[in-house]
Chain A
Amino acid sequence: MKGLLIKDLLWWRTNVAQIAVLAALVVCYSCSDARIFGYLFTCLITVAVFIGTATADVEGNSARQTFTMPFTRRQFVAEKYLTCLAMPALVGAVLFTLAAVLPAAPWLDGATAQTGENWSQATLFFLVALAGIVLMTAVGLPLGIRFGQGGRYIMATVFALAFLAAWAVIETTGDSFAGELAGLVRRQSALSGVLCAVVLLALLTGSYALSLHWIKRVEF
């Protein structure tokens, strides 16, 4: 497991461009009035990049040599799930804490810069981000393992459609999306949260089983 983590870490270090893009995204969103939404988006992009390491490992020129190294295919899959879930979650935790603690950019409307409001907003969006991360990992990793680079395109299409749908919802609700969501959750609160968590967990378990099934069938 340790070796796999180091391998992925090295991958990140040598793909500075990816980190730069993410950092740029963060900065851009921080200066806009949609920063919280932007941070959510950034987390999801991070997941996509981690799924990218999975496809590179399984499909690339280095696949054969890599899989002679001392790890089982089960460990490989487990490590991918770990990094795809934990790393973006960590990024999210950092970003949303910053969102709650730091005031909004000075040229923005002061109304959105209330610290108390920000904490609950930030927490809310963090939970939404976590759900998004789990969803993306659950759908994206098996696809990436099964279809390699092709899987990423399938996944990108699926999520593009999902974002479009979400956008449509936001447009039609008219009011601030954050307010709507906050209201919705406050109304349903605990039960809906638990239900959500259970569904996501089930999805993740199924996804893990599928990934394991598919990785065992790959011939390097």
Chain B
Amino acid sequence: MITLDHVTKNYGHFALDVTMTVPEGTITAMVGPNGSGKSTTFRIILGLVAPDSGTATVLGEPAGLLDETTKRRIGAAFSDSNYPDNLNVRQVATMLAGFYPAFNADLFFSLANRMALPDKKKIKDFSTGMAAKLKVVAAVSHHPQLLVLDEPTAGLDVLARDAILDLLREFMETPGHSILVSSHNSRDIASLCDDLYLIDDGAIRLHETIDAIGSDYGVIQATRSEAATLDDEYLLARVPTLDGFRILTSQRQYYAENWPALPIDKADIDDVVALMARSERHVADSQPNS
């Protein structure tokens, strides 16, 4: 549903070069440190920013020339922007009804109720949590095919996060839907997404399924001398510590079997991001071994 082929954008001090796909029926996560290019990528996908080169295709159309019919099939939310803040929930519904023929007011208001959104308050008086919930509710209420959500659970407490994630899982139960989501929350991604792209400094460093990360990835803690004995083949990143290294591997079983004395733990997504981003050398580009 989304295809980016060597999409580049140069801002002088920062250069983006992204190649990625979000297939139909998939929830794809985009993770990476702040300033790595997640937001820029999303903006290019939604036609808010024009890329310098490369092709960005969304729902079969070029991202820069999305017409209103295609845009109606997309629901989007940005963490640092909201609907006009002098509107209240009812007025937002009126506005959305004017823009989206498929807008379901009953669904919108029942979801708004479920999320405890205040009826008459203006958006400018919303808390962070309310503002975030409103955007996701609005995004799903017009029955889009594709959701592009930039940090939809940022600033939410655990209950609100769970509610949003469940809403997204419910969205995926309809076949033919896809979600591209960015998040800093490791647990959210692990419990929701199918695969992830790690972006750092404007480039994709890793594309892997969540399942593989959970079952095969690991973090090895080794001293300098121990690290020297390790077989490089499945090592993705290496970060120096006080007396050795923390090493990310995509095959923890292999290292557990052959270097049984070394402490190896399962890797969570935070580990993957932190180690890949701070790795002292970028190991060969990791394309999916799936």
- Residues on A lying within 8 angstroms of B by beta carbon are 2-3, 5-7, 10-11, 13-15, 56, 60-72, 75, 219-220
B85, chain A: closest CB distance, angstroms = 6
At the interface, yes or no: B286 with Cβ under 8 Å from chain A? no
A10 & B78 in contact (Cβ 8 Å cutoff) = no
A68 & B48 in contact (Cβ 8 Å cutoff) = yes
Say yes or no: A70-B71 contact (C-beta < 8 A), given A3-B99, A6-B98, A219-B48: yes
| Interface contacts beyond A64-B43, A64-B80, A65-B135: sample of 20 additional A-B pairs, CB < 8 Å, sorted by A | A3-B95, A3-B99, A5-B98, A6-B94, A7-B98, A10-B87, A60-B84, A61-B85, A62-B81, A62-B84, A62-B85, A65-B82, A68-B78, A70-B70, A70-B71, A72-B67, A72-B68, A219-B48, A220-B48, A220-B49
At the interface, yes or no: B31 with Cβ under 8 Å from chain A? no
B43 & A220 in contact (Cβ 8 Å cutoff) = yes
Name the A residues within 8 Å of B49 (CB-CB): 219-220
A69 & B86 in contact (Cβ 8 Å cutoff) = no
- Residues on B lying within 8 angstroms of A by beta carbon are 43, 46-50, 66-72, 74, 76-78, 80-87, 91, 94-95, 97-100, 122, 135, 148
Say yes or no: A68-B95 contact (C-beta < 8 A), given A7-B84, A62-B83, A219-B49: no
B81 & A63 in contact (Cβ 8 Å cutoff) = yes
Name the B residues within 8 Å of A67 (CB-CB): 47-48
Name B83's contact: one of A65, A71, A72, A219 (CB within 8 Å). Answer: A65
Name the A residues within 8 Å of B91 (CB-CB): 10, 13-14
Say yes or no: A71-B43 contact (C-beta < 8 A), given A61-B82, A61-B85: no
Closest residue of chain B to A220 (Cβ to Cβ) is: B48
Name the A residues within 8 Å of B67 (CB-CB): 72
Name the B residues within 8 Å of A68 (CB-CB): 46, 48, 71, 74, 76, 78, 148
Q: What are 7 residue pairs bridging A and B, where the CB atoms are less than 8 Å apart in the complex?
A: A14-B86, A14-B87, A14-B91, A65-B77, A66-B83, A72-B68, A220-B48
B73, chain A: closest CB distance, angstroms = 9
Name the B residues within 8 Å of A220 (CB-CB): 43, 48-49
In the assembled complex, the Cα of A61 lies from the Cα of B100 at a distance in Å of 22
Name B68's contact: one of A7, A75, A219 (CB within 8 Å). Answer: A75
Name the B residues within 8 Å of A71 (CB-CB): 68, 71, 99
A3 & B74 in contact (Cβ 8 Å cutoff) = no
Say yes or no: A70-B81 contact (C-beta < 8 A), given A5-B98, A7-B98, A14-B87: no
Closest residue of chain B to A64 (Cβ to Cβ) is: B81
In the assembled complex, the Cα of A6 lies from the Cα of B95 at a distance in Å of 6
In the assembled complex, the Cα of A194 lies from the Cα of B162 at a distance in Å of 66
Name the B residues within 8 Å of A2 (CB-CB): 98-99
A54, chain B: closest CB distance, angstroms = 13
Name the B residues within 8 Å of A5 (CB-CB): 98
Say yes or no: A219-B50 contact (C-beta < 8 A), given A11-B86, A64-B81, A66-B84: yes
In the assembled complex, the Cα of A75 lies from the Cα of B99 at a distance in Å of 12
B77, chain A: closest CB distance, angstroms = 7
B182, chain A: closest CB distance, angstroms = 14
In the assembled complex, the Cα of A62 lies from the Cα of B77 at a distance in Å of 11
